């Protein structure tokens, strides 16, 4: 984990994020995007969003993919100067947490290292 600061604003793209569970099947398709390593997917409920290809396994001869882990496509809306705790990184995006405990994806090209470790990490289980 590391601390990062937003150097550009970022607006979340989807009002209802795609959420899938480990073992769930989704439909996927390649779409033009500036981001390598992502697949545009739709779950059985019709909710759409981007999923890292590394989190999916294609069913032979189809456009259906098995989720290899739980996943949430929620994007964080952040403003320039906001500090975030980066919990993981995937395909040029960071899964990050705000000091208030909100979590979601932010593109790494909108963040910079703060150069220090967080003093504490909010415990969301309380």
Q: Give the domain ranges of the chain.
A: 2-13+75-113, 19-72
Report DSSP state, residue 116.
S
Whether 125 shows a pLDDT value over 60: the answer reads no
The pLDDT of 106-123, averaged and rounded, is 78
Report the predicted TM-score, pTM, of the whole model to 2 decimal places.
Answer: 0.86
How far apart, in Å, are the Cα atoms of 71 and each of 10, 19, 37, 67?
Answer: 20, 6, 15, 8
Confidence of residue 14 (pLDDT cuts 50, 70, 90): confident
Residues 90-99 have a mean pLDDT of: 96
Q: What phi and psi, each to the nearest 5 degrees, are found at residue 30? A: -75, 135
Contact 117, 126 (CB under 8 A): no
Q: Which long-range contacts (CB under 8 A, 24 or more apart) does 55-62 make?
A: 55/90, 56/26, 56/28, 58/28, 59/25
**Overall average pLDDT of the 88-110 stretch:** 96
Domains 2-13+75-113 and 19-72 share a fold: yes
Mean pLDDT of 31-54: 95
Mean pLDDT of the chain: 91
Q: Which CATH number fits domain 19-72: 3.50.50.60, 2.30.30.40, 3.40.50.2030, 1.25.60.10?
A: 2.30.30.40
Q: Residue 2: pLDDT above 60?
A: yes
Contacts of 91 by beta carbon, 8 Å cutoff, 6+ apart:
35, 36, 37, 38, 52, 53, 54
- Closest to 97 in 3D by CA, of 110, 88, 116, 49: 88
Predicted confidence band of residue 120 (pLDDT cuts 50, 70, 90)? low
Say yes or no to pLDDT of 15 above 90.
Answer: no
Query: Where do we find the tokens 């739980």?
Result: 70
Domain over 2-13+75-113 is classified CATH 2.30.30.40: yes
pLDDT of residue 115: 76
């Amino acid at each position: 984990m590391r601390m990062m600061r937003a150097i550009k604003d970022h607006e979340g793209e989807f009002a209802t994020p795609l959420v899938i569970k480990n073992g769930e099947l989704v439909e996927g398709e390649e779409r033009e995007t500036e981001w390598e390593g992502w697949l545009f997917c739709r779950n059985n409920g019709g909710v759409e969003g981007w999923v890292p290809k590394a989190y999916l396994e294609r069913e032979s001869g189809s456009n259906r993919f098995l989720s290899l882990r739980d996943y949430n496509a929620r994007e964080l809306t952040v403003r320039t100067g906001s500090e975030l705790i980066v919990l993981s990184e995937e395909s040029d995006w960071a899964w990050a947490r705000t000091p208030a405990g909100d979590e979601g994806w932010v593109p790494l090209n909108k963040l910079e290292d703060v150069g220090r470790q967080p003093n504490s990490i909010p415990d969301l289980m309380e």
